[in-house]
Structure 1
């Protein structure tokens, strides 16, 4: 008789997901291998997810719902599971970010998390040497789903020009990342400005920060240090941050000139070298 691991569905979203997967599979009289064949994965993967040794993906969850006729149960659960994989100190901010009506961010070093490609995010997150990199990447991609809503939050990003030049993940990753910035900037809910090197000293030399605005709640300022994040709704602090942000916007290139700079850096710094060399020879 095999030793079946007992799960406590109240322990965590991941435990509940595994418990519910096992319950639904057994209710359909399917062995792990049989369910795996139906949704095009191994029975071993089914077992690892049932016992919380692997984190389910959204694609896996959608295939489960289709195979088991669950009415979207696993597609809804996976959002909670992936959110729970975020660092504990970051989860309160992610919850507030998901509720915000307006997001404004200044980023001095990196592309804002909501705008990162999967490859760029993986390179960034790998620098922290996490135990489960893929879970963190999946959680960051899940966090971006707020931009896919019918009414996404309005967003404004000011990026230091250094963000465009720092080769995170290599040339191809950066090319795709800069193209991603150009793509999202075409949406009416997103505005991107670049703060050029020529601006010199500016209003946020101390570093990056985000501001969240809500329909019915006080504005929030969010900052990070090396190991944690900090939120405050202090009116005086938020007012000071808003003033600094307005100065950053004034010093930055226009939205149109910013797109032109992103395009130029993408082509000149991260473009196809063979084509560049051909043009030079010609």
Structure 2
């Protein structure tokens, strides 16, 4: 039988289909047999495996039930649905919603968990104008910002540590009023009992241990997860041998950054229009 070769690196849809086929082959099931177990046709299984049809959340949940994969298919299907997001980020968000501690470092833009709705809308509107994403994908990104912020309001709340590169404050997004509201949001965030906000100044120079955005999570079981990204790629790491050095660099960044009090004072100066 001729079978279509699958390239899991081609897209999230292809990665989902390749994993589905691999687990089915390991159990010796035909597509019709798997379809019977999942409540769909073998033709539907074939379409998902070869990337002709994206998996729905319902399909992914059914696959997790049949294969006993503990929610992995459902998490992977989020990468398929969140087509405007870099690889690894949808799965990162699922961990972030349950993490005990969250550490963020951002460059150039405010992190999503701190964006005001107006800032998020202005940021994505420009991205749509450049043709980088569609209006529908912009709406998806804005909705995800709201979902992430709502998840942080859980009880008990996570500890949230944020280091912002100075560029996050000085890069205008939207109107002056939008930026002022965004800076006010940072001050409010810093006043919360479960948060720490610091600014990494430009003049930190070569003492800066990180140059690209980095997110590090401490999960409830104290295991670590990190997410780092460049302009076109995102990477999720779960292996401690990879995450611990990143966490060390983050702590070094915190040591060199302004204190929270000095950071808030700087933000207030910017709001008053003083350098």
TM-score normalised by the chain length of structure 2: 0.64
**1:59-78 alignment, distance < 5 Å:** none
Name the counterpart of 2:124. Answer: 125
Q: How does 1:71-220 map to 2 (within 5 A)?
A: 85=82, 87=84, 89=87, 90-126=89-125, 127=127, 128-132=132-136, 133-216=138-221, 218-220=223-225
Q: CA deviation at 1:86?
A: 6.7
Any idea what the Cα deviations from partners look like across 1:180-227, whole Å, max 9, x if unmatched? 010111111111001112322233343110100012152011111223
State the secondary structure of the residue aligned to 1:168: coil
Give 1:231 shift: 0.7
Shift of residue 170 of structure 1? Answer: 2.6
Alpha carbons 2:210, 2:249 under 8 Å: kept: no
Q: In structure 2, which of residues 224, 227, 236 is the aligned counterpart of residue 231 of structure 1?
A: 236
SS in 1 for 2:181: helix
| Distance (Å, rounded) in 2 between the aligned partners of 1:180 and 1:240 | 31
Indicate the SS of the match to 2:167.
helix
Change (3 A) 1:13 1:239: closer
Rounded to whole Å, the distance in 2 between the matches of 1:154 and 1:187 is 10
TM-score, length-scaled by structure 1: 0.63
Instruction: State the alpha-carbon separation in 2 of the partners of residues 236 and 203 from structure 1.
Output: 22
Are the counterparts in 2 of residues 195 and 252 from structure 1 also a CA contact under 8 Å? yes
Do structure 1's residue 242 and structure 2's residue 241 form an aligned pair?
no
Q: Distance in 1 between matches of 2:90 and 2:241?
A: 25
Question: For 1:164-189, what per-residue CA distance to the aligned partner results, in whole angstroms no more than 9, with x for missing partners?
Answer: 10001131111110000101111111
CA distance in 2, matches of 1:264, 1:188: 23
User: Which segment drifts farther, 112-121 or 221-230?
Assistant: 221-230
The alpha-carbon deviation at position 13 of structure 1 amounts to 5.7
Instruction: State the alpha-carbon separation in 2 of the partners of residues 152 and 202 from structure 1.
Output: 32
> Residues of 2 paired with 1:269 and 1:116: CA distance?
23
1:81-110 residue CA offsets vs partner (Å, 9 max, x unmatched): 9x9557463311111111111000111211
Which SS does the other structure have where 2:196 is aligned? strand
The answer on whether the counterparts of 1:85 and 1:139 sit within 8 Å (CA) in structure 2 is: no
* TM superposition shift of 1:265: 0.9
How far apart in 1 are the matches of 2:198 and 2:213? Answer: 14
Change (3 A) 1:96 1:86: farther
Report the Cα distance in structure 1 between the residues aligned to 2:121 and 2:274, rounded to whole angstroms.
Answer: 21
Q: Distance in 1 between matches of 2:222 and 2:274?
A: 43
Classify the secondary structure of the residue corresponding to 1:268: coil
**Deviation (angstroms), 1:254:** 0.7
Secondary structure, aligned partner of 1:152: coil
In structure 2, distance between residues paired with 1:87 and 1:95: 16
